[in-house]
Amino acid sequence: MSDFDPLARRNWIFDMDGTLTVAAHDFDAIRAELGLPAGEPILETLASMPSERARELTARLDEIELGIARRARAQAGAPELLQELKARGSRLGVLTRNSMPNVMETLAAAGLVEFFEPDFIVDRDAATPKPSPEGVNRLLHAWRTDPQEAVVVGDYVFDMIAGREAGAATVLIAREPTDDHATYADAVFSDLAELLLALSTRSDEY
């Protein structure tokens, strides 16, 4: 854990599934349905396949994820946190390993779509998926800002690695963080409500 304040930053990049919305993906079941090896990252496994087979399985993955997206629910504290950040003049972005149609469906179903401009949503087709820092860098470029002015918020080690490698601060949302997750995090909160409380103790403007 570093001794600087990652919350005193204007540019906020959020993971979506499991961070802004309640985790609903059963990745083991998805792998099984797609016939993929257990424990292997889905997108990377698909990318390693022959193109025709990869397209077929990716289309099926999109169908599975769309069904999940239509049932999405916001995490407790998510609307309040995003509203507070908006009120402070923060820029808000989403960086996700999901596809853009499913991102928009998820945010709409969860009542969070109003907080994000489409140009500031980076999906798995717009940049190399996390843990690559490419998506973070894409948002920083769009905002014409430096990584020292940004923070990445997520619930998984891929989020933390992407933020750290881009030079941004990292905030982990995890009730029981594992060592590999926390190693890459500059701050850890059990949920978004706790993060909002910490943010509220700071001044109203950056």
The predicted pLDDT at position 131 comes to 96
Q: Which residues of 36-56 are buried (b: 16+ CB within 10 A; e: fewer)?
A: beeeeebeeebeeeeeeeeee
Task: Give the span between the Cα atoms of 80 and 67, in whole angstroms.
Answer: 26
Going along the chain from its start, the domains and CATH numbers come out as 11-23+73-200 (3.40.50.1000), 27-69 (1.10.260)
pLDDT in tens, 80-135: 999 999 999 999 999 999 999 999 999 999 999 999 999 999 999 999 999 999 99
| Closest C-alpha to 134, from 157, 165, 100 | 165
For the segment 174-182, the average pLDDT, to the nearest whole number, is 78
| Closest C-alpha to 20, from 129, 154, 117, 124 | 154
Residue 181 pLDDT > 90, yes or no?
no
pLDDT in tens, 42-78: 888 888 899 899 889 988 888 888 888 888 999 999 9
Is 54 strand, coil or helix?
helix
- The encoded tokens of residue 151 equal 């923070």
Q: Taken in order 82, 6, 22, 119, is the CA torsion positive or negative? A: positive
| Mean per-residue pLDDT over the chain, rounded | 90
Q: What is the DSSP string of 82-97?
A: HHHHHHTT-EEEEE-S
The predicted pLDDT at position 134 comes to 98
The predicted pLDDT at position 24 comes to 73
Q: What is the DSSP string of 19-42?
A: TTB-----HHHHHHHHTPPTTS-H
The predicted pLDDT at position 118 comes to 95
The predicted pLDDT at position 177 comes to 77
